[in-house]
Structure 1
Amino acid sequence: MLVRLILGLLITVAGLAFAARRAAWLAKLIRSGQPDEKRSDVMAVRAKTHLAEVFGQRKLLKWSVPGLAHLFTFWGFVILGSVYVEAYGALFDHDFHIPLIGHWAVLGFLQDFIAVAVLVSLAVFAVIRIRQAPERKERASRFFGSHTGGAWLILFMIFNVIWTMFLFRGASAAVGVFPYESGAWVSLGVGELLEPLGTSVTEPLETVGLLLHIGVMLAFLSIVLYSKHLHIFLAPVNVTAKRLPDALGPLLPMESGGKPIDFEDPGEDDTFGRGKIEDFTWKGMLDFATCTECGRCQSQCPAWNTGKPLSPKLLIMDLRDHLFEKAPYILDGKEAPEERPLVGTKEDFGVIDPDVLWSCTTCGACVEQCPVDIEHVDHVVDMRRYQVMIESAFPSELGVLFKNLETKGNPWGQNNSDRLAWTKDLGFEVPIFDGELADDVEYVYWVGCAGAFDDNARKTVRATAELLHLAGVKYTILGTDESCTGDPARRSGNEFLFQMLAQQTVETLNAVFEGREPGTRKIVTTCPHCLNTLGREYPQLDGHYEVLHHTQLLNRLVRAGKLTPVKPVDAGPVTYHDPCYLGRHNKVYEPPRELVGATGATLSEMPRHADRSLCCGAGGARMWMEEQIGKRINLERVDEALGTDAETIVTGCPFCRVMLNDGLVQRQSEKRGENVTVRDVSQLLLESVRERDRTATEI
């Protein structure tokens, strides 16, 4: 008894000291990141998120089979902690049991049940890893680029925890010192198998099992702290520190040293974006260290799925490896002898290749799927900000975009006087803001640059305007007072240009809504990018408005009986494409689908839809950049739509409509989908609500 006590304590002290040294090093490294004061929300809200995502495994359960296996494994760690309490108690007292509950059969049953469930889960993980082996599936495997050897080692160590547990508990039962007389069905069964060996064998076997069980746990602890499986300890912290409600929708304002940058009078030491690894906040560094290399982000990334070099997983892994590589210099406060550029080509020994950085569409699929709440999009945009504003290193097409935005106030470079061209020949008068907002005007209709200047998008805004007119909704447009919200500038990294455009628009809107309470400052728009910027980013600039997407408002009008579909739409089978900035970024999934149903159309979903919808390829200012690597993303999405045999592809975003239409035109030139059209939800609804004997206005 004394020998095993001494041995048990010695390996524990040694194991914990080794682990504590690494844990202290990691904590110091992460704390070295830049301040981030935005993570101090109400703890009750963060506790709720923590419970749902950590203990409820909410995100992992979106992937049903591996999610369930991970749920059992996680709860195995939690529940089997009680077995280690019993194990350490047994070092001191052969007859130890947990006070109050130590003889409770239910606890014994739960311990054995979860251990068996973990074993089954290990088998599931093994099958998944064999079927998804990168050696066979290459880029199609979500484990491509991951450290698969380390993953197998972890599975092996978990297996060792389970079998040593049953050896220790079974031998304890055979010796007669097991706390449970019933309930612990596997342990008692092992005890019955061992009992015929006699106490001369089972007593030393119980000591060996106990020390092995403790030793495996301590070895496992150190392996975790020195491997990608850091997430076992860091994931709960990262989930608790996440952006609320999630890291999608608004981008974070630029800060330096934890304080917002004053773009009118920036400080001399202000850092614009992230130009080196130590420029990231502590949350960014925590993100890098937390990555599980599971590849769920990679499997959903439109860039990776079309042959681009960007993998959100590999990007985070590269940043993590660079952070650890540079850690000795960061912690010592010294400059590295040879500073690698954070963004640069292989020839320049860059950490992140420019083609990786600029392939991102900011669609948010990576953030949506990440089980540990890594904020990939924020990091991509922060690096873009440095490249644009400090290095002036960006795709040449963006130079044209920036010039158009700065001089013309729109990405197309069109004259502002053309913003009202879409209102011609509608058959009714579109109300234009005349300097004072009438009391009965409920909405400002934000047309947006696409709606004003793109021919296809004009069809959408015309249809929406006519529907609002038919429903008797009082609205007004700003006409030539409109300008770009700044979305493409911000997502391409030109934060200075965004600030200029956004402040101008906030001043305009605040003047329009002057005297109105916040709850009556309502805007409706057909563009999800405008929706997101006006409603969720302008509060950063003191612009507070209630912003609706046109599908949301139209759906309310249909439900209220103000718009009544009177005939089934002539569209054939329909498939709906979820715009990223309407769906994932703003969680609007049902209103467009309800409207499609209201028109009498038959909806056929694409395999990737709702929160797993594939991007059209236009986001992140990619709309204005050439796509020269791999397959065009819009072609991939059009191919998926054509696979549903739909005759109409419906969407609710002008950018998506352009991209899908361009892809469809190319496929039709190849004799595919020749009877297919791309339309906005509003066009289908308008066709359905018009009276049978009414001559349709051409839209």
Structure 2
Amino acid sequence: MFLATLLIGLAGTAVALALAGKRVLFLWKLFKSGQPDPERVLQVKRDPKGDVEGQVTEVLGQRKLLKWTVAGLAHAAVMWAFFLLATVYLEAGVALLFGLDKHIPFLQTWGPIGFVQDTIALLCALGLIVFAIIRFKDSPKRLDRKSRFKGSHTGGAWVILFMIFNVVWTMFFFRGVERANGNLAYGKAAYFSYLSGTPFEGLSHHTLEILESVGLLAHIGVALVFLVIVVNSKHLHIFIAPLNVMFKRRPNGLGAAQPMMSKGKPLDFEEADPDEDTFGRGKIEDFTWKGLLDMATCTECGRCQSQCPAWNTGKPLSPKMVILELRDHAFAKAPYLIASEEEREKFTDEQKLEMQVDKELVGENGVIHPDVLWSCTNCGACVEQCPVDIEHIDHILDMRRFQVMIESSFPSEAGVMLKNLENKGNPWGMSESKRLEWVEEVDFEVPVVEDSLPEGTEYLFWVGCAGALEDRAKKTTKAVAELLHIAGVKFAVLGGMEACTGDPARRLGMEFVFQMLGQQNVETLNEVGAKKIVATCPHCFNTLANEYPQIGGEYEVVHHTQLLAHLVEEGKLTPVTPIEENITYHDPCFLGRHNKVYKQPRDIMATVPGVKTQEMHRHKDRGFCCGAGGARMWMEERIGKRINTERVDEALETNPDTVSTACPFCLVMLGDAINEKKNEGAAKETLEVVDVSQLLIRSVKGEAPKEPVAAE
């Protein structure tokens, strides 16, 4: 009996490992075919502590998964069962190779180990029940687009749940018979295994040996079949998610957009050759190995999809489906990608068609539809929620870069914005002389830089295009300037020397214009001696702080809410006049998720007497976009419900007197939606959207309560 069990077990193991090994080799070759990305490896060498922290918090600690408590706990139980029940498979291996009554001393005889094994196996079974309930409850057949599993391969998920269940029941069957046969060394400590042996009491020793051998082979066989299924399915993430976490980007927040890379090096536009260099991603082989790893790691959980503002307002963009469609295309084209030149010449036209060799990446009949690509607001909700750290925005942005810079294919209205940036240095095409008009509207002196910062200047106030040129944003600019003046903070502005940071161009995909504007601004900032900068626009803040270092601009940059909160804390600004209003705060994406600034705007409102704050149900790291990011501010929103309307509907649920925010783009988008609601009679006539700084200046100066604001 022992010999037969051994031969069957070894033969099955050999076949399964051969099949799994073949697939792993295929995946290795596919990943190697991607473009180089040396920075990913260098960062691991530079920051081993960060890597350990990532593995402990993201992989072992399940930090992102546990944000969704019930599903997170269920997943944590199943994952830890995967780790801890490896000791049971060690036990099975010893029994297979050396006999059913053989055990490793201590490891397979110490009671507490058996207790832990049984407990985690039962928790795993409970987790499977939770998963099954979630799958039924959130079935795409029932909920359609409202289901986060819409578009996922749900059949494969059920197969995996069934296979994990098989692991659990075969374990208890094998160990139950083992206990009845007198071979369970843990005794009653392995309480459920001990209990599982009760039905087998009284059977003959011969029968128990047969059943124990069958149970052993079944338990091992399930694992081997599971292994083959895993490496050929989305559950490959079991093995490669730790790698994806290891090689992820590591900014505090989402940070900067990646510079354009070609062959593993930053692209030099002056020396670039369109025939030799990679301008964004125009075909699947243009993606880096990390991009291909992202695609293979996707778990199809749909958390990104459930949080995406585009998807939630009826648009075709699902971050999950972007990754899945790229993955399916990569796998289809893989035989061609990993083939040698000689092998490629032997492929027939029919084979090339099947491998999607000539299928365009972005197009009406391409892998990614243009409407999908241009629906993205770069809000970062997808990246924030992804439990395996897939970088959706980077991939969308790289595909945009190819479309804009090589194909010249992008929404027509965005072309006007680009021309204005190139010719006038701002998206609206206004004269640079208008950048200082707001200064004439304040009753104190605002120092304007001429050749260098005036002596004693603590901060350069980066006003930004919206802050200088857009009427609603100019109110924020004047409020911040006056607050700094009251607090005794010495600051200066660049006036006409200031140009757009280039954020709209970069997020659209026109990297060349971003580089042009960025280098111009860095040169100006360095010439005037700027060291510390305060910005009111989160997009400017993010670009100055996180992206200008890529082009030689290293500055200490703060957002105005950070500086104002600090001044209030120090007692240099004192809110005194009560503002008896119910206020709900909208988190700007580029301030919140991109830079983790959630606390300071709320701290400011908390210091204003009389203010009652109420959060919208989607706030902080789950905040909902206003719809302006990713250069969407300058594109028409023609598909589905307007994102800003959806956000204002959420705000109205709190019955606010005022909606506050900390971004000029959000001011415009939310303000427009509020005005629409007023015209419809769905919002108070007095309701308005204001910057946090405007609330603070009202309280500090003791201004009268606001008057009704007419809809524009």
Q: Does the Cα contact within 8 Å between 1:401 and 1:411 map onto a contact in 2?
A: yes
CA distance in 1, matches of 2:704, 2:252: 49
The equivalent position to 1:112 in structure 2, one of 112, 118, 137, is 118
The reply on whether 1:438 has 2:439 as its aligned counterpart is no
Match of 1:20 in 2: 21
Aligned residue type for 1:294: C
CA distance in 1, matches of 2:427, 2:441: 26
The equivalent position to 1:89 in structure 2, one of 90, 94, 109, is 94
Q: Does the Cα contact within 8 Å between 2:588 and 2:666 map onto a contact in 1?
A: yes
Q: Does the Cα contact within 8 Å between 1:524 and 1:550 map onto a contact in 2?
A: yes
Going from structure 1 to structure 2, the CA distance change for 1:11 and 1:475 (only over 3 Å counts) comes to: same
Match of 2:67 in 1: 62
The reply on whether 1:171 has 2:193 as its aligned counterpart is no
The reply on whether 1:341 has 2:360 as its aligned counterpart is yes
CA distance in 2, matches of 1:98, 1:563: 70
CA distance in 1, matches of 2:631, 2:237: 33
Q: Which moved more, 1:556-565 or 1:33-42?
A: 33-42
Match of 1:80 in 2: 85
Match of 2:494 in 1: 478
Match of 1:229 in 2: 235
Deviations 1:83-117 (A, max 9, x none): 00000000123222234332111110000000000
Deviations 1:278-309 (A, max 9, x none): 00000000001111110000000000000000
Going from structure 1 to structure 2, the CA distance change for 1:695 and 1:378 (only over 3 Å counts) comes to: closer
In the TM superposition, residue 559 of structure 1 has moved relative to its aligned partner by: 0.3
Partner-residue secondary structure (3-state), 1:547: strand
Aligned residue type for 1:460: T
CA distance in 2, matches of 1:99, 1:677: 73
Q: Does the Cα contact within 8 Å between 1:195 and 1:202 map onto a contact in 2?
A: no
In the TM superposition, residue 690 of structure 1 has moved relative to its aligned partner by: 1.2
The equivalent position to 1:311 in structure 2, one of 299, 303, 318, is 318
Partner-residue secondary structure (3-state), 2:563: helix
Partner-residue secondary structure (3-state), 2:201: helix
In the TM superposition, residue 43 of structure 1 has moved relative to its aligned partner by: 2.1
Match of 1:36 in 2: 37
The equivalent position to 2:219 in structure 1, one of 189, 213, 221, is 213
CA distance in 2, matches of 1:101, 1:589: 48
Partner-residue secondary structure (3-state), 1:444: strand
Match of 1:329 in 2: 336
In the TM superposition, residue 179 of structure 1 has moved relative to its aligned partner by: 2.0
Deviations 1:27-50 (A, max 9, x none): 110111000011121222112111
In the TM superposition, residue 198 of structure 1 has moved relative to its aligned partner by: 3.3
CA distance in 2, matches of 1:501, 1:97: 70
CA distance in 2, matches of 1:96, 1:421: 87
Going from structure 1 to structure 2, the CA distance change for 1:632 and 1:693 (only over 3 Å counts) comes to: closer
Aligned residue type for 1:331: I
Match of 1:688 in 2: 699
The equivalent position to 2:294 in structure 1, one of 281, 287, 307, is 287
Residue correspondence of structure 1 range 389-408 to structure 2 within 5 A? 389-408=405-424
In the TM superposition, residue 246 of structure 1 has moved relative to its aligned partner by: 6.1
CA distance in 1, matches of 2:372, 2:380: 16
Q: Does the Cα contact within 8 Å between 2:253 and 2:595 map onto a contact in 1?
A: no
Partner-residue secondary structure (3-state), 1:548: strand
CA distance in 2, matches of 1:155, 1:654: 48
Going from structure 1 to structure 2, the CA distance change for 1:133 and 1:695 (only over 3 Å counts) comes to: closer
Structure 1 residue runs without a partner (length 5+): 515-520
The equivalent position to 1:583 in structure 2, one of 586, 592, 598, is 592
Q: Which moved more, 1:544-553 or 1:594-603?
A: 594-603
Match of 1:261 in 2: 267
Aligned residue type for 1:228: K
CA distance in 2, matches of 1:425, 1:353: 47
Q: Does the Cα contact within 8 Å between 1:367 and 1:373 map onto a contact in 2?
A: yes
Q: Does the Cα contact within 8 Å between 1:247 and 1:375 map onto a contact in 2?
A: no
Q: Which moved more, 1:560-569 or 1:97-106?
A: 97-106
Q: Which moved more, 1:89-98 or 1:654-663?
A: 89-98
Partner-residue secondary structure (3-state), 1:524: strand
Going from structure 1 to structure 2, the CA distance change for 1:304 and 1:691 (only over 3 Å counts) comes to: closer
Aligned residue type for 1:172: E
The reply on whether 1:121 has 2:137 as its aligned counterpart is no
Q: Does the Cα contact within 8 Å between 1:650 and 1:679 map onto a contact in 2?
A: yes
CA distance in 2, matches of 1:499, 1:236: 35
Match of 1:369 in 2: 385
Deviations 1:54-108 (A, max 9, x none): 0111110011000000001000000000000000000123222234332111110
Deviations 1:185-230 (A, max 9, x none): 0001112332223323322111110000000000001111111111
Q: Does the Cα contact within 8 Å between 1:50 and 1:239 map onto a contact in 2?
A: yes
User: So what's the TM-score if we normalise by structure 1?
Assistant: 0.96
Going from structure 1 to structure 2, the CA distance change for 1:441 and 1:98 (only over 3 Å counts) comes to: farther
In the TM superposition, residue 577 of structure 1 has moved relative to its aligned partner by: 0.2
The equivalent position to 1:621 in structure 2, one of 618, 631, 639, is 631
Percent identity between the two aligned chains: 59
Going from structure 1 to structure 2, the CA distance change for 1:8 and 1:487 (only over 3 Å counts) comes to: same
The reply on whether 1:458 has 2:435 as its aligned counterpart is no
In the TM superposition, residue 431 of structure 1 has moved relative to its aligned partner by: 1.2
Match of 2:664 in 1: 654
In the TM superposition, residue 513 of structure 1 has moved relative to its aligned partner by: 1.5
In the TM superposition, residue 446 of structure 1 has moved relative to its aligned partner by: 0.2
Q: Which moved more, 1:39-48 or 1:491-500?
A: 39-48
Deviations 1:97-153 (A, max 9, x none): 234332111110000000000000000000001000000100000000111000001
In the TM superposition, residue 247 of structure 1 has moved relative to its aligned partner by: 7.2
Partner-residue secondary structure (3-state), 2:492: strand
In the TM superposition, residue 567 of structure 1 has moved relative to its aligned partner by: 1.7
Match of 2:562 in 1: 552
The reply on whether 1:153 has 2:153 as its aligned counterpart is no
The reply on whether 1:387 has 2:397 as its aligned counterpart is no
CA distance in 1, matches of 2:535, 2:363: 39
In the TM superposition, residue 658 of structure 1 has moved relative to its aligned partner by: 0.2
Aligned residue type for 1:17: A
CA distance in 1, matches of 2:140, 2:102: 48
Match of 1:467 in 2: 483
Partner-residue secondary structure (3-state), 2:188: coil
Q: Does the Cα contact within 8 Å between 1:96 and 1:179 map onto a contact in 2?
A: no
In the TM superposition, residue 692 of structure 1 has moved relative to its aligned partner by: 7.1
In the TM superposition, residue 317 of structure 1 has moved relative to its aligned partner by: 0.4
Q: Does the Cα contact within 8 Å between 1:253 and 1:540 map onto a contact in 2?
A: yes
Structure 2 residue runs without a partner (length 5+): 346-351, 708-712
Aligned residue type for 2:524: T
In the TM superposition, residue 177 of structure 1 has moved relative to its aligned partner by: 1.0
In the TM superposition, residue 693 of structure 1 has moved relative to its aligned partner by: 10
CA distance in 2, matches of 1:60, 1:69: 10
Going from structure 1 to structure 2, the CA distance change for 1:692 and 1:634 (only over 3 Å counts) comes to: closer
Q: Does the Cα contact within 8 Å between 2:253 and 2:593 map onto a contact in 1?
A: no
User: So what's the TM-score if we normalise by structure 2?
Assistant: 0.95
Aligned residue type for 1:357: L
The equivalent position to 1:271 in structure 2, one of 259, 262, 278, is 278
Give the RMSD, CA atoms, in angstroms: 1.5
Partner-residue secondary structure (3-state), 1:506: helix
The equivalent position to 1:495 in structure 2, one of 495, 511, 515, is 511
In the TM superposition, residue 249 of structure 1 has moved relative to its aligned partner by: 1.9
Match of 1:200 in 2: 206
Q: Does the Cα contact within 8 Å between 1:247 and 1:367 map onto a contact in 2?
A: no
Match of 1:530 in 2: 540
Count residues with an aligned counterpart.
686
In the TM superposition, residue 320 of structure 1 has moved relative to its aligned partner by: 0.3
